[in-house]
C-alpha cells in the first residue's frame, strides 16, 4: 500500500494571471505533463561473478556479451542507435587503474578511489564543477591525483544520444595513510552529497560513481556498442571479479544519460510501486538517521531523491544504510523483506527478526528483481511477489551468472555445475572474499542470530486484544440515537444509495460490493452535485507492467499489520527499539480504538485534537493553521498518539475535512522533524469505504476509527436491513 500518494499522474501545473492560455510549444507541453517523480522502468538485468574473487577480463567481456543478448529488453529510439540506457557496474579494476595512473606519472596510494562523472558540455560550467568537486574532496582530507578524459568513440552513438552526450571524465583520489576502505567510502559519500547540492543548478552534472570499491560505465548506446563507446571496456587489461549489467526499458519517460543503470550499488528490473510513500517516509525519518561512523551525516540530507527514477531512490537508501554501517545483506533484508507475516512455517526467531525490522522501515515493494554489489558481495534479490524472473547458472570455471533470463552467453551444457532460480522473497549472495555462495536460509540464519530479537519482541511489543476475545461489555454499542445519527449522516454527505450499495454490502459480506470495472461518474471537480473531499483523489497505479494481484488467493504476501509508537534510529539495534504496539489492521474497531486511547504507558500517551471549528468566529484556513500549531506543541510535549476527532460537530460548528487536517499536520510534523515521534490516529465520520481509508493513509494517518460507519451499520442491524455483521 502506498502510504503517501501526495501527487498523482494527472497533476498538471496551472498558470495564472496573464499567463493563462494554451501551451506555445511541444517543449512547454512536455514540461506541463512530465513529472520526474513518476519515473519507472522494466528491464533486463543480471550479474556475473567469479565465486573466489579472481579478476579477469573474461568476466567483463561475458557481461557485455550477455547485455547484448538482452537488447530485446530495451527500446530503440527513432535514430536506430539510441537505446533507453545500458551499463556495467564493476568491482574496482585495480590493476587497470594503476596502469592508467602509471602511464600519466601519477602515484596511487594503497587506498584510492576513482569517480566517473558526467560534466556539462559548456567548458566554463565543467571547470566550475571540477573546482567544486576538488574543494569538497579536499575538505575531507582526500588528495586529488588527477583528472582523466574517459576514452570514448562518439561515432557509435545515435543522433538523439549524441545531442545529450555529457562530457565524461574520471577523477582519481588518494586517501590518507591508515584509512580503511569503508572509512574512505563513507567520506566519499558525504563529499558527493555536498557536491551534488552545490551543483544542483547544473542539470547536466551527474556522479555515476565515486567509490574505492566499485566503478560504473553506462550510457544511451546500444548494448553491443558499449565497449565500442567506452574504449576502456575493450581493453584486455581491464579486469574484474564482479560485473553487474543492466538494459533499461523506460515505461514512462524519455531516456536520459543519468537514468541509465546500474546506479551506485544496484540495478533493478521492475517497479517500486510504493515509491511515493517510501520517499515521503525517508524524508520524515531524516532526523532519526544517526551513526557515530558519520558524525556529520546530516550534511548529506536529503538522503533519497524525489525526482529521479524509483530505482535511483532505492539505490540512495541502500547507499545510506551501507554508509551507516550495515552490511549489504542486512540492508537488503530490511528494504525488500520476504512475505513473513502469514508464513506459518517460518522459524519464530526469523519471524521476530523481520517483525523487528518492520517497525523501523516499510518495505520497498515491487514487483522487483534486484542485483547489487559493494565490491565484495554480489547479490540478487526478488521481492515477496516474485513477479520478476531471476535464474542462475554456475559453471566449472567458478563463474556464476544470475540474470532475468537464461542463454545470455554460450557456455556448454557439460560445463554447468549447478543451476536454479531465485524465488519470491529470496536473496542469493556471492561472497568473493570467502568463495562461498549463500542462499536465503544461510543469510537469514546469520541475521536472526545477531541479536535476541525474539526475546526483545516478546518482552516489549504489546498487541491489541482481538475483538472476539473481549467480553460483550467491551465490544461497544451504538452511542448516537436515530435523530443524531441522521444529522451526522447529513453533515457528512451519506446518500441513500451509499447506505444501501456500499455500507450495507460491506457489513453483510465483509468486503466491497462486486461491480463492473470503471467509474462513469463525473470528475468531482466537474460534478453538479456536492461531493466529499475523498472524491477529488484517484488511485495511482502502474498499469503498464503490473499483473493483477488477488488479495484473497495471494493473502500470504499481503498484510495490513500496523505498529505504533516512537520510531528509533535504524542504525542502532537495541531492546528499547522494540517498544511498539502492534495490531492487524489500520482500520480500527471500537474496542481497538478504546484500547489505544486508554493505555497508561508514557510511550503510548494519547491526546485528542478537535478538528471542528466555529464558523461564526474563524475560517477554515485559520483553523488548519491553528491545528498544526497545536499538534506541533502536543508532540513536543510528549504526545505519541495524536487523535484527530470530528465528533464535536454542532450548530455553527463544522468539521475540517479529515484528509486536509491529516495532510497539514503530517506536513508540519515532517518539516519540524517530529513526525516519527508521533502517530496520527483519525476518529472521523467522513470515511466509510476503502478509497476513503486509502486517502487518509496516503496523507499520513497511522490508523483510522470510522465511528459513523459503525453507527450506521448498527442502525442497519437494528432495522434488520442487515442480518449479520462480518468482522474481519
CA distances from 121 to 160, 261, 549 (A): 15, 22, 46
In angstroms, rounded to a whole number, what is the distance separating the alpha carbons of residues 652 and 354?
50
CA 50 to chain centre: 31
- Residues 588 and 584: their CA atoms lie apart, in Å, by 9
Distance, CA of 406 to chain centre? 29
Residues of the chain with CATH 3.60.20.10: 36-458
| Cα–Cα distance for residue pair 495/497, rounded to 1 Å | 5
Residue 12 is predicted with a pLDDT of 29
What average pLDDT does the segment 261-278 reach?
90
Q: Which ranges in the chain are annotated with CATH 3.20.20.70? A: 480-718
Q: In terms of Cα–Cα distance, which of 216, 419, 260 is closest to 408?
A: 419
CA distance 569 to 321: 11
- At which residue does the C-alpha cell 495511482 appear? 540
Give the cell for residue 448.
536472526
- Measured CA to CA, the distance from residue 320 to residue 657 in angstroms comes to 37
The C-alpha angle with vertex 670 and arms to 284 and 532, in degrees rounded to 5, equals: 110
| Count of Cβ atoms closer than 10 Å to residue 436 Cβ | 12
Query: HSE (CB half, 13 Å, CA atoms) of 22?
Result: 3
Q: What is the pLDDT of residues 378-391, one digit of tens each?
A: 999 999 888 888 99
- Would you place residue 22 in the very low, low, confident or very high pLDDT band (cuts 50, 70, 90)? very low
Q: How confident is the model at residue 526 (pLDDT cuts 50, 70, 90)?
A: confident
pTM of the model: 0.89
Residue 328 has pLDDT above 70, yes or no: yes
Say if residues 423 and 381 touch (Cβ distance below 8 Å). no
CA angle 123, 129, 133 (to 5 degrees): 145
Q: Cell 493505555 belongs to which residue?
A: 599
Place of cell 568537486: 133
Predicted confidence band of residue 726 (pLDDT cuts 50, 70, 90): low
Using 50, 70 and 90 to split pLDDT, how confident is the model at 259?
confident
- Distance of CA 710 to CAs 28, 440, 478, 659, 684, Å? 49, 44, 8, 19, 11
Where does 285-373 have alpha helices with state H? 310-323, 328-335, 348-358
CA distance 58 to 62: 6
| pLDDT tens digits, 565-614 | 999 999 999 998 999 999 999 999 999 999 999 998 888 999 999 999 99
d(CA 674, CA 688): 29
DSSP 311: H
Q: What is the pLDDT of residues 650-707, one digit of tens each?
A: 888 999 999 999 999 999 999 999 999 999 999 999 999 889 999 999 999 999 999 9
To the nearest 10°, report the CA torsion of 244, 250, 252, 257. 80
Give the per-residue pLDDT at 25: 45
Report the length, in residues, of the chain.
Answer: 728
* Catalytic residue IDs: 43
* Structure letter (DSSP) for residue 216: E
* C-alpha to C-alpha distance for 370 and 350, rounded to whole angstroms: 22
8 A C-beta contact, residue 35 and residue 9: yes
Q: What's the whole-number average pLDDT of the chain? A: 88
Task: Report whether pLDDT(5) > 80.
Answer: no
Cell numbers found for residue 184: 574512505
| Residue 404 DSSP code | S
Arithmetic mean of pLDDT, 439-464:
95
CATH architecture for segment(s) 36-458:
4-Layer Sandwich (3.60)
* Topology of the domain covering 480-718: TIM Barrel (3.20.20)
Which neighbouring-strand residues pair with 650?
A: 653
The percentage of the chain sitting over the pLDDT mark of 70, rounded to a whole number, equals: 89
Of the ranges 289-303, 310-324, 488-502, which one carries the lowest mean pLDDT score?
A: 488-502
pLDDT for the residue 500: 87
Strands (E), 447-511: 462-463
**Cβ contact 43:251 at 8 Å:** no
Q: Is 26 exposed, middle or buried (0-12, 13-18, 19+ CB in 10 A)?
A: exposed
Amino acid at each position: 500500500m502506498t502510504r503517501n500518494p501526495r501527487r498523482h499522474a494527472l497533476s498538471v501545473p496551472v498558470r495564472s494571471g496573464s499567463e493563462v492560455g494554451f501551451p506555445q510549444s511541444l517543449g512547454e507541453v512536455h514540461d506541463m505533463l512530465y513529472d520526474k517523480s513518476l519515473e519507472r522502468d522494466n528491464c533486463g538485468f543480471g550479474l556475473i561473478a567469479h565465486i573466489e574473487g579472481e579478476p579477469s577480463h573474461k568476466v567483463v567481456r561475458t557481461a557485455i556479451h550477455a547485455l547484448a543478448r538482452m537488447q530485446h529488453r530495451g527500446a530503440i529510439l527513432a535514430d536506430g542507435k539510441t537505446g533507453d540506457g545500458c551499463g556495467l557496474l564493476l568491482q574496482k579494476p585495480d590493476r587497470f587503474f594503476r596502469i592508467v595512473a602509471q602511464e600519466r606519472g601519477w602515484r596511487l596510494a594503497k587506498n584510492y578511489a576513482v569517480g566517473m562523472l558526467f560534466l556539462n558540455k559548456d567548458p566554463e560550467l565543467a571547470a566550475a564543477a571540477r573546482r567544486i568537486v576538488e574543494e569538497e574532496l579536499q575538505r575531507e582530507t582526500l588528495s586529488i591525483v588527477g583528472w582523466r578524459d574517459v576514452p570514448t568513440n562518439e561515432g557509435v552513438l545515435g543522433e538523439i544520444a549524441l545531442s545529450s552526450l555529457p562530457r565524461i571524465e574520471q577523477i582519481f583520489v588518494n586517501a590518507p595513510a591508515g584509512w580503511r576502505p569503508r572509512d574512505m567510502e563513507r567520506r566519499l559519500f558525504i563529499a558527493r552529497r555536498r557536491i551534488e547540492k552545490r551543483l544542483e543548478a547544473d542539470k547536466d552534472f551527474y556522479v555515476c560513481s565515486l567509490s574505492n570499491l566499485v566503478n560504473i560505465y553506462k550510457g544511451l548506446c546500444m548494448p553491443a556498442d558499449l565497449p565500442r563507446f567506452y574504449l576502456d571496456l575493450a581493453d584486455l587489461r581491464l579486469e574484474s571479479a564482479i560485473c553487474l549489467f543492466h538494459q533499461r526499458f523506460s515505461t514512462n519517460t524519455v531516456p536520459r544519460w543519468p537514468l541509465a543503470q546500474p546506479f551506485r550499488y544496484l540495478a533493478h528490473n521492475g517497479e517500486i510501486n510504493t515509491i511515493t510513500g517510501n520517499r515521503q517516509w525517508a524524508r520524515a525519518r531524516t532526523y532519526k538517521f544517526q551513526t557515530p561512523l558519520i558524525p556529520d551525516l546530516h550534511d548529506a540530507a536529503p538522503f533519497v531523491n524525489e525526482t529521479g527514477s524509483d530505482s535511483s531512490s532505492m539505490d540512495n537508501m541502500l547507499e545510506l544504510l551501507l554508509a551507516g554501517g550495515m552490511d549489504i545483506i542486512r540492508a537488503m533484508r530490511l528494504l525488500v523483506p520476504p512475505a513473513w507475516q502469514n508464513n506459518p512455517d517460518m522459524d519464530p526467531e526469523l519471524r521476530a527478526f523481520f517483525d523487528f525490522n518492520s517497525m523501523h522501515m516499510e518495505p520497498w515493494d515491487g514487483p522487483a528483481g534486484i542485483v547489487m554489489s559493494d565490491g565484495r558481495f554480489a547479490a540478487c534479490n526478488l521481492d515477496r511477489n516474485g513477479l520478476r524472473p531471476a535464474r542462475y547458472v554456475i559453471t566449472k570455471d567458478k563463474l556464476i551468472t544470475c540474470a532475468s533470463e537464461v542463454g545470455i552467453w554460450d557456455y556448454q551444457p557439460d560445463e554447468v555445475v549447478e543451476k536454479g532460480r531465485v524465488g519470491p522473497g529470496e536473496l542469493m549472495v556471492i561472497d568473493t572474499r570467502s568463495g562461498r555462495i549463500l542462499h536465503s536460509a544461510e543469510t537469514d540464519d546469520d541475521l536472526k542470530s545477531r541479536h535476541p530479537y525474539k526475546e526483545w519482541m516478546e518482552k516489549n511489543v504489546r498487541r491489541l486484544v482481538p475483538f472476539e476475545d473481549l467480553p460483550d461489555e467491551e465490544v461497544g454499542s451504538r452511542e448516537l440515537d436515530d435523530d443524531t445519527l441522521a444529522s451526522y449522516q447529513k453533515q457528512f454527505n451519506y446518500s441513500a444509495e451509499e447506505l444501501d450499495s456500499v455500507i450495507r454490502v460491506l457489513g453483510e459480506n465483509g468486503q466491497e460490493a462486486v461491480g463492473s470495472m470503471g467509474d462513469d461518474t463525473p470528475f468531482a471537480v466537474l460534478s453538479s452535485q456536492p461531493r466529499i473531499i475523498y472524491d477529488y483523489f484517484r488511485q495511482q497505479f502502474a498499469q503498464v507492467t503490473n499483473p493483477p494481484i488477488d488479495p484473497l488467493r495471494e493473502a500470504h504476501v499481503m498484510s495490513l499489520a500496523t505498529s505504533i509508537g516512537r520510531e528509533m534510529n535504524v542504525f542502532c539495534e537495541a531492546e528499547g527499539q522494540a517498544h511498539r504496539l502492534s495490531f492487524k489492521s489500520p482500520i480500527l474497531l471500537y474496542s481497538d480504538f478504546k484500547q489505544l486511547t486508554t493505555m497508561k504507558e508514557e510511550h503510548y500517551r494519547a491526546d485528542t485534537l478537535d478538528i471542528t471549528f466555529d464558523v461564526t468566529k474563524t475560517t477554515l484556513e485559520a483553523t488548519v493553521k491553528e491545528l498544526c500549531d497545536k499538534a506541533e506543541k502536543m508532540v513536543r510535549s510528549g504526545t505519541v498518539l495524536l487523535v484527530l476527532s470530528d465528533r464535536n460537530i454542532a450548530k455553527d460548528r463544522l468539521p475540517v475535512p479529515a484528509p486536509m487536517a491529516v495532510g497539514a499536520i503530517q506536513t508540519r510534523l515532517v518539516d519540524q522533524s517530529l513526525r516519527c515521534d508521533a502517530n496520527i490516529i483519525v476518529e472521523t465520520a467522513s470515511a466509510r469505504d476503502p478509497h476513503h481509508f486509502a486517502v487518509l493513509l496516503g496523507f499520513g494517518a497511522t490508523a483510522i476509527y470510522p465511528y459513523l460507519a459503525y453507527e450506521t451499520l448498527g442502525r442497519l442491524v437494528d432495522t434488520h436491513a442487515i442480518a449479520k455483521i462480518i468482522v474481519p
